[in-house]
Amino acid sequence: MFTLLSAIRIVHINIMDGSSPLYKVRINVMNNLWKNSIRWSVLIAVITLVLAAIFTIISTAILSGAGWAFGMFVVFFIVCIGVIFDIIGVAATAAPEQPFHAMAAKKVNGAYEAMLISKNADKVANFCADVIGDISGVVSGTAASTVVLHLAFAAGAQDGSAFHFVISVIFTAVVAALTVGGKALGKTIAIAKATAIIYQVGRFLHLLEKKLKITLLNKRATKKTKA
């Protein structure tokens, strides 16, 4: 016991010693982690900026000439997109990688893509749950305001009237409840059916690449296997 404790103490001292090779390796690893983290953060921020602008322009263009009924459908569709991508993000972190390795070895379509999703779960979850999910929340809120205004005008009410205020509160509350409730239910489903969900996403990405030649995953990226 004494020998084991002494060995652990010696290793700890060597790691903390600035002149030790182990210390230099530790510093290099930490520096690489920081660089990769900063690089990914900047990239995801730029992607978010571009996608948010695109989604806002598209939703505004669609709602500008549409009635309030169709506008409600668009808002709920945006909410559903946010919930679906949140489910994918949670499922990516919950799905084990090993089943996809076995399926990929048997050349099952979509298994390799599913394995890559599971292997890069942190980035997939960040993109799906944070980027798409948050953008959907912001865009749905903006779209809801436009729909409420159209509904108020259709009812003969003015902007800022009591009727406009009431339906604005009600519609905003309904959208928020559907978003939060949908994501809460989605997380339960994502955890319970993580492997099946990620496999279906992998099949979709495989089909997308095979039929339309659109590749969304970096197949050269490697990362430590999840347990």
pLDDT of residue 222: 47
Find the domain containing 88 and state its range.
66-212
Q: What is the pTM of this model?
A: 0.77
| 15 domain residue, yes or no | no
Across 11-15, 42-46, 96-100, least confident range: 11-15
Residue 87 falls inside a structural domain: yes
Report if residue 170 sits inside a domain.
yes
Q: What is the total count of domains within the chain?
A: 1
167 occurs within a structural domain = yes
The residue with greater pLDDT, 88 or 10, is 88
Q: What are the CA-CA distances from residue 216 to residues 73, 100, 184, 212, 213 (Å)?
A: 29, 18, 27, 11, 10
23 confidence band (pLDDT: 50, 70, 90): low
Mean pLDDT, the chain, rounded, equals: 82
CB 25 within 8 A of CB 16: no
> Could you give the percent of the chain with pLDDT greater than 70?
81
